[in-house]
Amino acid sequence: MTIAIRQIRILDGLGHRIERGTLLIEGTRIQAVGPERDVRLPKGAQRIDGRGLTVLPGLIDCHVHFCLGAEADVVAAVEGESSSVTLLKAAELARRTLHAGFTTVRDVGFRDHAVFALKQAIESGLTPGPRILAAGLAICMPGGHARFIGREADGVEAVRAAVLDQLNAGAEVIKVIASGGVLTPGTSPDDAQMTVAELSAAVEVAVAHGRHVAAHAHGASGMKNALRAGVHSIEHATLMDDDAAEMMTQRHVYMVPTLSALATTAACPTGCGIPDSARSKARNMVKQHERSFRAALRRGVPIAMGTDAGTPFNYHGDNAQELERMVALGMTPMEAIMTSTSAAARLLGLIQDIGSIAAGKQADLLVVEGNPLRNIGVLLKRERIAGVMQRGRFVAGPLSGA
């Protein structure tokens, strides 16, 4: 089927817009895009009136955890349920994410390798959800942060073996833990975890298999260890210092800020169910996190959008709240959109196929009522989503019934 969406505002994900454009989709691909007068419609095309609507590339979240359900105490929740229940929960969370306009995500830590079964089920059409690039288990030091969704490894050879296990299971990205964290009791976000040698071993094995490495790092020392090891993205970058920012800029290493994770945890009042240690750590860091984001933006550090969805009260399906937070901290709406489209696609190595609206690209699209350049918040309002297209077919929103 050929679908023609006419007289629609087009934001191409690369910083350009067309106020009255036409988008032509044939099969799973975009066939043509341009101003209304420049795109000829073939006979028999299904025509959709796009007046009052805006179309963007399908959004991309570079940091989610489908095994976590945004419970107040996510560690207790995942440790208290069976792996089968976790997988069923993850399938529902994936559906919510897709229906919110996110057609691709990177899952950077699951409790086991069942995330690869979820990925396969989505790709085969068995269950709805976004394209998933999954890490499997995060690689951490013994007793380290994220061990509840991780593979503990001590020493270079153990790290190599742990990375190979994830790759053999189907990992398309490797996640390493370079600092302590918020949710794991007994770890300090400012302390480095894993040695440079261990982190370098993880990168060496991953790169040899054509995979990127994402490093969890809050503190500057952990960030710099990961950067020296050659990782491709720093997740959180909460306590970034000038040296770390300079290294990221020079090496073109992406910051995936996950502002929403600390913000939702820090905003939780006493007695909300989040463990006191996690709540205290988040509250102590949230302002510094905002300063680090502003500094990264000012210095030209590459930024790709990620939410850490699944952490306390950071709900899957509310992923677009991250765009609101980035705009509040100084990004333009267009820049924020680019972090979750073309920039994210570049980080994930998928820019040839997704992340922008252009002829030949896969037809993963989000259609919303209104203009997100005037109010980025429309992307977060489910009632404003007119349609989510995945591989050329509307799968959510009113347009899915057209």
Tokens encoding 249? 């800029």
**Residue 393: phi, psi to the nearest 5?**
-130, 130
202-238 pLDDT tens trace: 999 999 999 999 999 999 999 999 999 999 999 999 9
Q: What is the DSSP letter of 192?
A: B
Prediction pTM value: 0.97
387-396 pLDDT tens trace: 999 999 999 9
**Residue 238: phi, psi to the nearest 5?**
-65, -45
Q: pLDDT band for position 402 (50/70/90)?
A: low
* Reduced 3-state DSSP string for 309-360: ECECCCCCCCCCHHHHHHHHCCCCHHHHHHHCCHHHHHHHCCCCCCCCCCCC
Are the CB atoms for 206 and 174 separated by under 8 Å?
Answer: yes
Are the CB atoms for 211 and 176 separated by under 8 Å?
Answer: no
> How far apart are alpha carbons 15 and 351 in whole angstroms?
15
Angular region, 146: left φ>0, alpha ψ -120 to 50, beta rest: left
Q: Mean pLDDT, to the nearest integer, of 120-127? A: 97
Instruction: Give the other-Cβ count within 10 Å of 143's Cβ.
Output: 12
Tokens encoding 168? 């053999």
Are the CB atoms for 108 and 138 separated by under 8 Å?
Answer: yes
